[in-house]
Amino acid sequence: MNAPSRESLKGVDLLSEINRLKKERNAVILAHYYQKPEIQDLADFVGDSLELSKRAAETDADVIAFCGVKFMAETAKILSPQKTVILPDLAAGCSLEDACPPGKFKAFRDAHPDHIALTYINCSAEVKALSDIIVTSSSAETILAQIPLDQKIIFGPDRHLGGYLSRKFNRDMLLWPGVCIVHEAFSETELLKLKAQYPGVPVAAHPECPPHIIDHADYVGSTSGILQFARTLTGDTLIVATEPHIIHQMEKSEPSKKFIGAPGADGNCACNICPYMALNTMEKLYLALRDLQPQITLDEEIRLAAKRSLDRMLEMASGTIGKGDLGRA
Q: 269 a known binding residue?
A: no
Q: 119 a known binding residue?
A: no
Footprint on residues 279-298 left by ligand SF4 (CB under 6 A):
none
Q: Does 50 help bind ligand SF4 (rule: CB under 6 A)?
A: no
- Closest CB to ligand SF4 among 122 and 147? 122
- In the complex, the smallest distance separating the C-beta of residue 12 from ligand SF4, rounded to whole angstroms, is 28
Q: From the centroid of its chain, how far is CA 120?
A: 9
Q: 214 a known binding residue?
A: no
- In the complex, the smallest distance separating the C-beta of residue 207 from ligand SF4, rounded to whole angstroms, is 11
- In the complex, the smallest distance separating the C-beta of residue 243 from ligand SF4, rounded to whole angstroms, is 5
DSSP β-ladder status, 152-156 and 203-205: unpaired
Identified binder of ligand SF4 from the candidate list 27, 43, 180, 233, rule CB under 6 A? 180
DSSP state of 9: G
- Closest CB to ligand SF4 among 267 and 275? 275
- In the complex, the smallest distance separating the C-beta of residue 43 from ligand SF4, rounded to whole angstroms, is 17
First to last CA, the chain: 44
Q: Does 161 help bind ligand SF4 (rule: CB under 6 A)?
A: no
DSSP β-ladder status, 237-241 and 203-205: parallel
Angle at 33 between CA 235 and CA 183, to 5 degrees: 80
Q: 209 a known binding residue?
A: no
Q: Which stretch binds ligand SF4 (CB under 6 A): 176-184, 223-231, 233-241, 293-301?
A: 176-184
Binding-site residue total for ligand SF4 (CB under 6 A)? 13
> Closest Cα to residue 262, out of 198, 208, 196, 190?
190
Identified binder of ligand SF4 from the candidate list 30, 133, 181, 214, rule CB under 6 A? 181
**Residue-wise burial string across 118-131, b where 16 or more C-beta atoms lie within 10 A, e elsewhere:** bbbbbbbbbbbbbb
Helices (H) and strands (E) in the chain, counts: 16, 12
Identified binder of ligand SF4 from the candidate list 76, 277, 282, 321, rule CB under 6 A? 277
At 236, which amino acid appears? D
Footprint on residues 67-96 left by ligand SF4 (CB under 6 A):
69, 94-96
Contacts of 301 (CB under 8 A, 6+ apart): 129
Footprint on residues 212-271 left by ligand SF4 (CB under 6 A):
243
Q: Are 103 and 129 in contact (CB under 8 A)?
A: no
Q: 206 a known binding residue?
A: yes
Residue 54: phi and psi, rounded to 5, are -70, -40
Q: Are 304 and 94 in contact (CB under 8 A)?
A: no
Q: Are 132 and 71 in contact (CB under 8 A)?
A: no
Q: Are 305 and 43 in contact (CB under 8 A)?
A: no
Q: Which stretch binds ligand SF4 (CB under 6 A): 170-178, 189-197, 230-238, 274-282?
A: 274-282
Q: 212 a known binding residue?
A: no
- Where do contacts with ligand SF4 occur on this chain (CB under 6 A)? 34, 69, 94-96, 122, 180-182, 243, 274, 276-277
Residues flagged as binding site: 32, 49, 94, 120-122, 137, 180, 206-208, 223, 274
